[in-house]
Structure 1
C-alpha cells in the first residue's frame, strides 16, 4: 500500500485504486498534494538560506520552550493535575522545534495537539485558547511562508475543518475568520521572498553568461592572433624554405586556407557572442606588462608567458582592485605577480578600509574563478587576519 501511495505521489500510473488509469490531471494533482500534506516526508524548513539562520533557530527554540512551559503550567493550575502535562509540553515544544526541520510535520503534530488539548482541557471554551494562539499560529505561519499555494490552501482547509469539528460553530467561525487572513499574509510574504530569490538567481545566471561571453571574446582575440601567425608562416613558407617541393607548397597552402577558415568561423562566433549595441574592440588585449597601469607599485615578473595567461592575470588584478575600491574604500592595496615553477602566481591584497559601498553581487569573484578554470588553475578569495582581503590565483603556464 505504501509503495502504491508513493507511486501516486510521484505521478506514476497504477492499475486500479485511486491512482488508476484515466485519472484527470487535476484530480491527480489534488491527490498528490493531499498525500504530501498529511502523509509523506517533508524537508521544507524555515530560515533556509538566511544569513542569520543560527540565531533565528535559537530564538524559535526558546520561543517554543517558553510557550510550552506556560501552557503546561496553566493546565496544571486549571485542570486536575493527572500527569498529562508532559504530553502538552512535548507537543508544543516539539512542533515548534520541528518547524526547523519539517514544517508540514510540525503542522501535523500541532494539529494533533489541538485535538489532545481539547480532550485534556474541557474547561477551555475555545479550540484555540489564549496561549494556543501564540503556539499554533506560529506553526501555521511557518507552513504558509515556506510552501506554495496548493499546499497552503489544503493546510488552511484541513485546519478550518479541525476547528469546526472541535469547537462551537460560532466560535469556530470567528477563529477561522482570523486564521485564514493570517495564513494568507504568511503566504504572501513567503511568495514574495521566493520571487525575489528567483529574481536574484536569474540575475546571477545572466551575469555569469555575460562574463563567460566576455571571456570568450577576449580568448578569441588571443587565439586569432596565433592563427594569423600560422597563416603568415604557411604563406611565406615557399619563400623561406629553399627547394621546397610542389607537394610541400600545396600542403602549406592548404594549411593556410584552413587557418583562414578557422579565423572566419571564430569571427562569426564572436558576432553571436557580442550584444547588439556592442562595438568591436580594436585595441590589443592587455597582458602582464599592462598590470602596472592598474597599480603603479605592482610587482610583476618579467618572465614571458602565453598571451592568454597574461590576459587572465591582468583581468584578475583589475577585478580585485575594483572590489577593494568598492568594498574597502581607502584601503591600501598590494599586487604581486610572480612565476613560481610552471605556474603564474597572482596575489592582490588590501587592508581594512571604510564601509562598503555595496553592489557587485559576487559576480566578479565568479568571473575570476571561471577565467582561472579555463587554464586549469585555482583561485581563492578570503578575508585576512588583519581585517583585509586577499585574492590568490595560480595559473599553469604552458609554452609562451
Structure 2
C-alpha cells in the first residue's frame, strides 16, 4: 500500500509512473482508502482508551486530511501531520511512546514522500523541524523514546530522498536519451529528404541547360539567365551534398538507392490498399515510412497479429491508417524510434499522427499529411 502511495506522489511530481488514467485513479483511490483506514483505527484507539469527550473527530480529520493533502502537496501534508503529532500527544497521554503503532502508519508515508519529492535543502529543513516537533511531543510524555523515534524518522526521510534522487536521475537520463533519439531521427529525415529535393533541383539544372536547344529563338540575355540559374542550382546541389555529409553518422556510407514512395507501400504489405494518386515525393516517402514503422511495431509487439493498411487521398490530405489485431507477447527491443519518429516525419509537413489501442486488443496508427498541389 505504501508503495502505491509513493508511486502516486511521483506522478504528482510529473514523473511517469502509470501509463494510463485508470491506473492513476486506482492509485489515488488506494491512498485515500489507506488514509481512511488509518484515521478510523486512530479514532477507535482513542475512543477505546479514553472517556468519550468528542475529540475523536479531530483525530480522524488530522489523519484523513493528511492523506488527502498528499495528492496535492507533500509539504502541506507533512505540516498537518507534524502538527497532529503534537496534538495526539496531548490527547493520547496514556501512550508512553512518542508515536504509537497507528501513528507510525500515519507518519511513515509522509516522511518517505517528502524525501522522495523534494531537494536536499528541503529535506534537511524538514528533518530539523521534525526533530524539534518530536522532541516537543516527547517532552509532553517520555523523552526516553526520543532518540529511537527521531533516528527512525530521519532514516526513513533519507531513504525516501535516495529513492527519489535515483528516480530523478533515471528520468533525466531517459529525457536526454529521447532528445538524442529525436535529433538522430531528424537527421535521418533530412538525409532522406535530400534525395527528394535533389531530384527536383536536378530537373531545374537539366531544363536550364537544355533551354537554348529546346527554345532556339531565345535572345542572348535569356540564354545567360538560364545559364546562371543552372549554375546556381548546381551549386545548391553541391551544398546539399556537403550538408548531407555532416548529417551522416560516423562510418555511414551514402545511400545510392532512390527513396521509396506510395507505389512501394505494397512491397511492405501485399494486401495494402493504396490510392493511385500523384503526391509530392516527400509526402510519399513519409507515408511509406509511417507504414513501415507501424508494421514493424506490430510484428515486434504483437507477433502473429493480422495487419491492414489503407492509404487514401481525401481532398488535400493523404490519410494513412495501419491497424493490427491482438497478437502474442511482445518481443520488446527494437532499434528504431517508433512513434516519436513517425510524429517527427508527419510534423515536417504540418500533419498529425495518432496511435491508440483498439477495442479488440490491437493497435491503430493514423496519420494525416497535407498535400501541397503543384
1:249 aligns with 2:220: no
1:47·1:56 contact (CA, 8 Å) conserved in 2? no
Q: Residues of 1 paired with 2:74 and 2:352: CA distance? A: 40
**How far apart are 1:211 and its partner, in Å?**
0.9
Q: Residues of 2 paired with 1:387 and 1:107: CA distance? A: 43
Match of 2:245 among 265, 271, 285: 271
Q: Residues of 2 paired with 1:81 and 1:53: CA distance? A: 39
Q: Residues of 2 paired with 1:369 and 1:105: CA distance? A: 40
The size of the alignment, in residue pairs, is: 357
In structure 1, runs of 5+ residues without a counterpart are 1-43
Q: Residues of 2 paired with 1:66 and 1:338: CA distance? A: 57
Match of 1:97 among 60, 63, 68: 68
SS in 2 for 1:315: helix
Match of 1:378 among 349, 352, 358: 352
Find the counterpart in structure 1 of residue 17 from structure 2: 50
Match of 2:329 among 307, 331, 355: 355
Q: Residues of 2 paired with 1:100 and 1:360: CA distance? A: 36
CA change 1:250–1:377 in 2 (3 A) is same
RMSD of aligned residue pairs (Cα, Å): 1.9
Find the counterpart in structure 2 of residue 38 from structure 1: none
1:112 aligns with 2:83: yes
1:61·1:96 contact (CA, 8 Å) conserved in 2? yes
**How far apart are 1:265 and its partner, in Å?**
2.0
2:10·2:17 contact (CA, 8 Å) conserved in 1? no
Match of 1:146 among 73, 96, 117: 117
1:311 aligns with 2:282: no
Find the counterpart in structure 2 of residue 131 from structure 1: 102
Please list, as runs of the form range in 1=range in 2, the aligned pairs for 1:188-207 lying within 5 A after superposition: 188-207=162-181
Find the counterpart in structure 1 of residue 300 from structure 2: 326
Match of 1:162 among 122, 125, 133: 133
Q: Residues of 2 paired with 1:93 and 1:385: CA distance? A: 38
Q: Deviations over 1:204-225 (max 9, x none)?
A: 1111111111111111110011
Moved segments of 4+, more than 6 Å? none
Find the counterpart in structure 1 of residue 199 from structure 2: 225
Find the counterpart in structure 2 of residue 65 from structure 1: 36
CA change 1:46–1:90 in 2 (3 A) is farther
Find the counterpart in structure 2 of residue 3 from structure 1: none
Q: Residues of 1 paired with 2:287 and 2:11: CA distance? A: 39
Please list, as runs of the form range in 1=range in 2, the aligned pairs for 1:332-343 lying within 5 A after superposition: 332-343=306-317
Structure 1 window deviating more from structure 2 (228-237 vs 336-345): it is 336-345
SS in 2 for 1:249: helix
Find the counterpart in structure 2 of residue 175 from structure 1: 149
Structure 1 window deviating more from structure 2 (212-221 vs 338-347): it is 338-347
**How far apart are 1:361 and its partner, in Å?**
9.8
Find the counterpart in structure 1 of residue 59 from structure 2: 88
1:46·1:103 contact (CA, 8 Å) conserved in 2? no
Q: Residues of 2 paired with 1:280 and 1:362: CA distance? A: 19
Match of 2:45 among 71, 74, 77: 74
SS in 1 for 2:355: strand
In structure 2, runs of 5+ residues without a counterpart are 1-7
**How far apart are 1:382 and its partner, in Å?**
1.8
Find the counterpart in structure 2 of residue 368 from structure 1: 342
Q: Give the alignment's TM-score, normalised by structure 2.
A: 0.90
SS in 1 for 2:277: coil
Q: Residues of 2 paired with 1:117 and 1:62: CA distance? A: 21
SS in 1 for 2:297: helix
1:216 aligns with 2:183: no
Q: Give the alignment's TM-score, normalised by structure 1.
A: 0.85
1:297 aligns with 2:267: no
